[in-house]
Amino acid sequence: MQLNANPFPFEFNVATTALVIIDMQRDFIEPGGFGETLGNDVSLLEAIVPACRAVLAAWRGAGGLVVHTREAHAADLSDCPPAKRNRGNPSLRIGDVGPMGRILIAGEPGNQIIPALAPVPGEIVIDKPGKGAFYATPLHNLLQQAGVTHLLFMGVTTEVCVQTSMREANDRGYEGLLLEDCTESYFPHFKAAAVEMMRAQGAIVGWTAPSAALLQALR
């Protein structure tokens, strides 16, 4: 199957491709969550939900493997180094009690994936303690067991967890594509720069394409 992409067409087979949805969590997307306590406009991230939802429905319809990630830490913060927890000057830090429970702690209400994109039985859910989906997680082994060679990415934020995960995937030999309208940043110019970085120099990190191109290929 071929998808019209930038900088050139992306070829993939649904049977060996996974859709990876990065950190579409209540704490990042919904008003009152961790993202908003950092002073961000979460409506920017919320705006991509319809496009993500359409892709997820089409990918499920095609029988493709789906992976969801959540940035999540252990309740005792044993997997959250001070260098991460103390960075910046937020009003609330990882592990503190926020409007949706303890921030970025596994199992808390705010740490859950938004209802519109909630996992269904049989889909992989990865709790990751870092920015990348592969760091300190079983994701690589699970993808290898499933025979996956290609990855389609969507989620937030483009320049942090999405870009980190795509770079990790590239280093592990996966062919990756980012769905441009299914990812966003609290800083739109960061998204624009990250997208350019990823597809520069002949897709040095990966390809990019609008979700319409994938939906058309799946049809």
In the set 52, 80, 161, 182, the catalytic residue is 161
Q: Which neighbouring-strand residues pair with 208?
A: 6, 178
Phi, psi of 112 (to 5 degrees): -80, 155
**How far apart (Å, rounded) are the C-alpha atoms in residues 27 and 71?**
10
Q: 195 and 167 in contact (C-beta within 8 Å)?
A: no
Q: What is the 3-state secondary structure (H, E, C) of 51-117?
A: HHHHHHHHHHHCCCEEEEEEECECCCCCCCCHHHHCCCCCCCCCCCEECCEECCECCCHHHCECHHH
What single-letter amino acid sits at 92?
Answer: L
Catalytically annotated residue among 27, 52, 80, 128: 128
Active-site annotation holds for 191: no
Check if 96 is active-site.
Answer: no
99 φ, ψ (degrees, to nearest 5)? -60, -25
182 catalytic, yes or no? no
Full DSSP string of 106-166:
TTSGGGSBPGGG---TTSEEEEESSSSSSTTSSHHHHHHHTT--EEEEEEE-IIIIIHHHH
Beta bridge partners of 8: none
Residues annotated as catalytic (active site), given as ranges: 23, 128, 161
